């Protein structure tokens, strides 16, 4: 979608605790699966994602591209317990952002 909806992001994950993060830049958000506070988004055009992404029904309604196809655009395999960040239309620039095991920032 041109408005940024439908991209794999923590806010579309069943484990996400924090509301619709696209409207809550800089607000606290938690991962219920890993039990950590997520780093805030850098901008409204960034997305957060980990290998444990479990899409909500909203993701399926908003995404016109199947999840498998979206994930195939990443040039790396997403490692367990690592939160990644990437830009809108910038899957090729995905990078590790934080350890979901320790809560420490990466890179």
Give me the chain's average pLDDT, please. Answer: 86
What is the gyration radius of the CA atoms in the chain, in angstroms? 12
Residue range 23-67, pLDDT digits in tens = 456 677 889 999 999 887 767 678 899 999 999 999 999 998 999
CA distance linking residue 10 with residue 47, whole number of Å: 8
How confident is the model at residue 53, as a pLDDT? 97
Q: Roughly how many angstroms between the first and final C-alpha of the chain, as a whole number?
A: 29
Percent of the chain having pLDDT more than 90?
A: 57
Q: How many helices (H) and strands (E) does the chain have?
A: 2, 6
Cβ(92)–Cβ(73) below 8 Å: yes
């Amino acid at each position: 979608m041109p408005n940024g909806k439908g991209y794999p992001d923590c806010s579309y994950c069943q484990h996400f605790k924090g509301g619709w993060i696209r409207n809550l830049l800089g607000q606290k958000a938690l991962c219920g699966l890993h039990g950590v506070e997520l780093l805030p988004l850098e901008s409204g055009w960034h997305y957060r994602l980990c290998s444990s992404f479990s899409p909500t029904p909203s993701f399926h309604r908003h995404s016109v591209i199947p999840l498998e196809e979206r994930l195939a655009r990443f040039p790396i395999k997403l490692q367990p317990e690592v939160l990644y960040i990437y830009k809108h239309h910038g899957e090729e620039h995905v990078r590790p952002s934080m350890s979901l095991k320790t809560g420490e920032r990466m890179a």
